[in-house]
A and B are shown apart, each in its own frame.
Chain A
């Protein structure tokens, strides 16, 4: 299994849609073959269409608000006394998280395909909130599928979705979290694929959805590359790019421009959700060595039992609470280009507390997992090492959980 240079990772799959010969693919019911094929052809066409690219860039700049800032966290760096810690503050994007890139692109594709309805899944509620925003912006009718448990724990984002005129469809099956929301969204698409476009909220699902999402979030690393050169005159020699990984959309976007670099120069570190300290459940298929399985149309490392039933997962962070992971991250793991680890709920909470104490930054529980790893390794590293954390979400949505776990703040 080998990475190719000079070709975006999203395009390094074989004719059946597999990365590294075994991750990804399109394990879909016959009914979805045609809509997936149509979408694949449309995307192939649009990504080469200058007008479409202009439109995308226009909305990325004027609607999402590019570029998001790249800042040094001086106080945190001084406190930890090792590597320099920087943040790419993607949470500045319109809506407060990276999910807006994928949502905007899907809404534009939906429009281009002449469909009036758009549906999507959501865990933390950001994918749903952003899709509802984009739908409103582009005049599409929007339905969001969300686990009943997540609706309860991510209320601020639900309020936003409703305000944007989207219908939230609560999902009561299974563990009532993201995995069930994605299943139910796919079922809805099976039944309505003639007039409805589906947006998968991360770099997961059938091959084409992995590609579209990765293509959208790649904006993050395009900006970062420019910002690095501005700040340091060149790409520094020792960089560590740390990102949380649930489905893996923000991590892919954060890394895509840097995959071709030597890993000694730019190390890619993915941090999964380890779940509560003493719990056996987790959402960390890469770092806890899960076996390959098929979920939601793609093969990936997957939290499952020996029979192939999908395991319940548990994490304080709804956005990372997913048993599978992007096939692209499986590929990066097996080619050893990226390293994956996990942070527990407690680690993430502690990191959130520390970052908010020292910096004027309010990372949500998802990037707090990435900060936990940064905090852990920074003191052991030299001062010329540049750690960059993708602060990909804002903690406003976590208001209730933080209040409950940390007391009144």
Chain B
């Protein structure tokens, strides 16, 4: 049977649009609120990425850093991330959820224990920012054994030799980083260039679902519609920060953004 992730991409394809992937940080700004946000935006998002926050995130820009620090300050623990996922999955059985974070937290929890827990709470995929190929081979195999998709990252600096190997070793989904940047940077490469590289990746193996992330906002999302999927993270985290600042309900505001993003790619 196809994974929930593959099904989500297929559903979007059937509607002739890319899948919309959202990224929020677990526990931002509280454990309860982040679950509410997740539940609400999943009415519009096809796949939800949930970050387990780390206090030294070397690949994240200001917006996601702020969300992560806020969540940690409010006491989020890795087990809370699992319980949020568990609660979410009880309600939304078919909505895929991807956990995303830095390797040290998995290492401290213990790789096997972490993955067993992922399987138990029905995590669909995993992105580990600082565990690149080929160092991630063993870990990716462990994921596969438990039915968790390990998602390989590809960037503009990835050589074609390397790309070929990464695609070969990837599972259902590949994440293309649109530009040389941390998360939340301004899109400094033209959509045309990004899509050229995207096609190159796609041509290696058409059956892989390739998503594009980094620098995607309400302004830029439409121009990259051709992709299998598009990830929006910093723009959402920024909205949570703004809502808190203005003392408004982040759930409503973030849902509205996701709704608008979805409309732009319909």
Chain A interface (Cβ < 8 Å from any Cβ of B): 16, 25-35, 173-174, 179, 183, 186-187, 190-194, 291, 293-297, 304, 306-310
Residue in B105, B108, B153, B177 with the greatest tally of chain A CB atoms within 10 Å: B108
How far does the Cβ of A155 sit from chain B's closest Cβ, in whole Å?
Answer: 26
Top 10 A-B pairs ranked by shortest CB distance?
A: A308-B108, A34-B157, A31-B155, A294-B104, A308-B105, A308-B104, A30-B153, A27-B130, A29-B59, A30-B155
29 A-B pairs in the complex with CB atoms less than 8 angstroms apart: A16-B135, A30-B177, A31-B177, A33-B155, A33-B157, A33-B162, A34-B159, A173-B69, A174-B55, A183-B56, A183-B57, A190-B59, A190-B181, A191-B180, A193-B180, A293-B104, A293-B107, A294-B103, A294-B104, A294-B107, A296-B58, A297-B130, A304-B104, A304-B108, A306-B108, A307-B78, A308-B105, A309-B54, A310-B55
A191–B77 CA distance with the chains assembled, in angstroms: 30
How far does the Cβ of B111 sit from chain A's closest Cβ, in whole Å?
Answer: 12
Contact yes or no, B129 A309, CB < 8 A:
no
Residues of B within 8 A of A306 (CB): 108
Residues of B within 8 A of A34 (CB): 157-159, 162
Check A191/B181 contact, CB under 8 A, given A183-B56, A308-B105: yes
Main secondary structure of the interface of B (DSSP, over half): loop
Residues of A within 8 A of B102 (CB): 294
A192–B131 CA distance with the chains assembled, in angstroms: 20
How far does the Cβ of A295 sit from chain B's closest Cβ, in whole Å?
Answer: 6
Check A183/B58 contact, CB under 8 A, given A27-B131, A294-B104, A304-B104: yes
Taking residues whose C-beta sits less than 8 angstroms from the other chain, chain B's interface range is 35 or more
Known: A30-B153, A308-B107, A308-B108. 19 other contacts (CB 8 A): A26-B132, A27-B103, A27-B130, A29-B58, A30-B132, A30-B155, A30-B177, A31-B156, A31-B180, A33-B132, A183-B56, A183-B57, A187-B59, A190-B180, A191-B180, A296-B56, A304-B104, A307-B105, A309-B55
Near A by CB (< 8 A), chain B positions 140-163 give 153-159, 162
Task: List the count of A-B residue pairs having beta carbons below 8 Å apart.
Answer: 108
Residues of B within 8 A of A174 (CB): 55-56, 69
How far does the Cβ of B45 sit from chain A's closest Cβ, in whole Å?
Answer: 24
A193–B155 CA distance with the chains assembled, in angstroms: 12
How far does the Cβ of A30 sit from chain B's closest Cβ, in whole Å?
Answer: 4
Residue in A16, A27, A31 with the greatest tally of chain B CB atoms within 10 Å: A31
Residue B185 lies at the interface, judged by CB distance under 8 Å to chain A = yes
